[in-house]
Amino acid sequence: MSRMLPAVIVAATAAVGILEGASAGGQTTGPGIPPLVISSMAGSDLYQAYCASCHGRGGQGDGPTVPALRSPMPDLTTLARRNGGAFPAERVTALVTHGEALRSPAHGSREMPVWGPLFRALDPNDTRAAVRISSIVEFIRSMQVR
């Protein structure tokens, strides 16, 4: 049996190589896994990549992962309305960047990822991490209902 093991490994490796070669020819078997770091620094792209799964494409707290979460998602489109008409950019930036330490019961769930350290872990350039966060915050500002 032990003599057959190398042959099985070679055969399995060859089969994987053939399958990879077939898929490299343009065939796909389903949706790919999205990249962890997207190259775009546009707020709308960053929001869709990192926030929409929970907060929803339109920011109303209706993302596809909501049923699996313990707490409802806040409606990001009403942040200014809930703050006397002024968008709380500093507060949103702090929550996105630092998370838990600054959260209050009014924000909602503590399940939200803290994007500051995550962006730095995915791309150690502090400037790009700051630009990503700023772009997301500005996009959320643009979502505010009038």
Structural domain boundaries enclosing 116: 43-142
Find which of 16-25, 82-91, 122-131 is predicted with most confidence, using mean pLDDT: 82-91
DSSP string spanning the chain?
A: -TTHHHHHHHHHHHHHHHHHHHHHTT--SSPPPPPSS-S---HHHHHHHHTHHHH-TTSSS--TTGGGSSSPPP-GGGTTGGGTT---HHHHHHHHHHGGGG--TTT--S-S--HHHHHHHHS--HHHHHHHHHHHHHHHHHT---
Q: What is the pTM of this model?
A: 0.69
Within a domain: 91: yes
57 assigned to some structural domain: yes
- Residue-wise pLDDT for 26-74, tens only, equals 555 666 666 677 888 999 999 999 899 999 999 999 999 999 988 888 8
Domain count across the chain: 1
Residue 31 domain flag: no
Residue 70: inside a domain, yes or no?
yes
